[in-house]
């Protein structure tokens, strides 16, 4: 569970963009697939649960878990193990494993804690999306984390989300974690027709959401072009951008250099990078300006 003594995390912008947060118990949990559902043309939702999820906590819209998959050829699942019941920490395997990072949807109670994981499927699947295409009730995974959680700022007037298909699950959490009075703008870079995105994102009670979808196939810099067309960002608007790391370099430079937004007001996170297997989302988006 999050540390009840943790304080809001404040940056140079003071309380306006403060994000309350804390650590969770960091452990490896055995997960069993309970349901599999296609919730949008390219998105498969896999619901997992298990006795070890009794204390699973995920309170932040950008939380990450690392999901370990069985080998497609052998069926062997190589993954970390818990240090011990109720303890913090994991024992890492001494062999290569297959794992990817995901944003879990908010956990819910249904005869125990259940967690939804949404997989973006595409014509050239990696091991995670290929697994999701063939997932069945009763299949097993191992879920590690999230190590900690940070909520959305609660004293903002506006929220601007820039995302691709891989970060849309997190976007659904941002939309629901801001105060109802918040005006939400979403710019989603997707392949082809994005007519399904609005239904996938939904919206919170009383949340005003404006959505613009742009076609990734039209141009490599379509997201930063849409951001420039968006215009000025208000002093009380928080910006979150996530997706393919290379495509976010110019997005980040526009936010930081052109608009002059601080790291407290604008957060940019690379979820994956073209040509890189198991990209580390902690790596800087712009290696020439990592701060």
**pLDDT tens-digit readout, 209-225:** 999 999 988 777 899 99
Are 156 and 118 in the same domain? Answer: no
CA 252/CA 246 separation, integer angstroms: 10
- Domain CATH for 127: 2.40.30.10
Counts of helices then strands in the chain (DSSP H, E): 5, 18
Phi, psi of 228 (to 5 degrees): -65, -40
Strand partners, 63: none
In a domain? residue 3: no
Are 72 and 112 in the same domain? Answer: yes
- Domain stop point among 97, 127, 146: 146
Region 180-186 average pLDDT = 93
Are 33 and 130 in the same domain? Answer: yes
Q: HSE (CB half, 13 Å, CA atoms) of 59?
A: 18
Are 174 and 266 in the same domain? Answer: yes
Answer for the pair 253, 281: CB distance below 8 angstroms, yes or no: no
Beta strands 183-190 and 158-164: pairing type? parallel
Are 257 and 228 in the same domain? Answer: yes
- Domain stop point among 102, 125, 146: 146
Region 127-155 average pLDDT = 97
Which residues constitute the domain of residue 113? 25-146
In the chain the beta strands, taken as DSSP E runs, fall at: 9-11, 14-19, 21-23, 28-40, 43-49, 65-69, 81-82, 90-91, 98-102, 108-109, 113-120, 140-144, 148-150, 158-164, 183-190, 208-215, 237-244, 266-272
In a domain? residue 260: yes
Are 182 and 239 in the same domain? Answer: yes
Q: How many CB atoms are closer than 10 A to CB 140? A: 16
Are 41 and 126 in the same domain? Answer: yes
What confidence tens digit (pLDDT) does each residue in 33-66 have?
Answer: 999 999 999 999 999 999 999 999 999 999 999 9
In a domain? residue 31: yes
Are 196 and 243 in the same domain? Answer: yes
CA 197/CA 211 separation, integer angstroms: 9
What confidence tens digit (pLDDT) does each residue in 237-267 have?
Answer: 999 999 988 889 999 999 999 999 999 999 9
Are 187 and 123 in the same domain? Answer: no
pTM value surpassing 0.75: yes
CA 123/CA 158 separation, integer angstroms: 36
If one counts the domains in the chain, the total is 2
Burial 66-102 (b: 16+ CB within 10 A, else e): bbbbbeeeeeebbbbebeeeeeeebeeeeeebbbbbb
Quickly state the pLDDT bin for 13 (edges 50, 70, 90): low
Are 154 and 258 in the same domain? Answer: yes
What confidence tens digit (pLDDT) does each residue in 70-83 have?
Answer: 999 999 999 999 99
Are 34 and 75 in the same domain? Answer: yes
Q: How many CB atoms are closer than 10 A to CB 25? A: 17
Answer for the pair 173, 105: CB distance below 8 angstroms, yes or no: yes
Query: Coil, helix or strand for 45?
Result: strand
Q: How many CB atoms are closer than 10 A to CB 108? A: 11
Are 58 and 99 in the same domain? Answer: yes
- Domain CATH for 248: 3.40.50.80
């Amino acid at each position: 569970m999050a540390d009840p003594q943790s304080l809001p995390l404040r940056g140079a912008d003071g309380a306006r963009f403060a994000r309350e947060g804390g650590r969770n118990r960091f452990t490896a949990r055995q997960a069993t697939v309970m349901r599999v559902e296609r919730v949008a043309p390219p998105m498969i939702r896999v619901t997992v649960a298990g006795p070890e999820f009794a204390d699973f906590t995920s309170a932040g819209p950008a939380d990450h878990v690392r999901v370990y998959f069985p080998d497609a050829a052998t069926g062997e699942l190589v993954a970390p193990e818990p240090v011990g019941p109720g303890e913090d920490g994991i024992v890492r395997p001494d062999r290569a494993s297959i794992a990817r990072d995901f944003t879990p949807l908010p956990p819910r109670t249904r005869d125990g804690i259940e967690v939804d994981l949404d997989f973006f499927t595409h014509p050239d699947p990696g091991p995670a999306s290929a697994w999701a295409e063939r997932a069945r009730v009763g299949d097993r995974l191992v879920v590690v984390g999230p190590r900690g959680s940070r909520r959305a700022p609660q004293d903002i007037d506006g929220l601007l989300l820039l995302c691709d298909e891989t970060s849309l699950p997190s976007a659904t959490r941002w939309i629901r974690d801001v105060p109802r009075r918040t005006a939400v703008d979403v710019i989603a870079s997707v392949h082809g027709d994005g007519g399904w995105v609005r239904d996938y994102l939904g919206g919170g009670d009383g949340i005003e959401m404006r959505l613009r979808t742009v076609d990734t196939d039209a141009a490599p810099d379509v997201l930063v072009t849409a951001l420039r067309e968006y215009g000025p960002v208000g002093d009380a608007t928080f910006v979150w951008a996530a997706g393919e790391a290379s495509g976010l370099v110019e997005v980040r430079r526009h936010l930081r250099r052109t608009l002059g937004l601080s790291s407290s007001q604008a957060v940019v996170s690379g979820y994956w990078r073209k040509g890189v297997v198991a990209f580390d989302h902690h790596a800087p988006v712009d290696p020439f300006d990592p701060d």
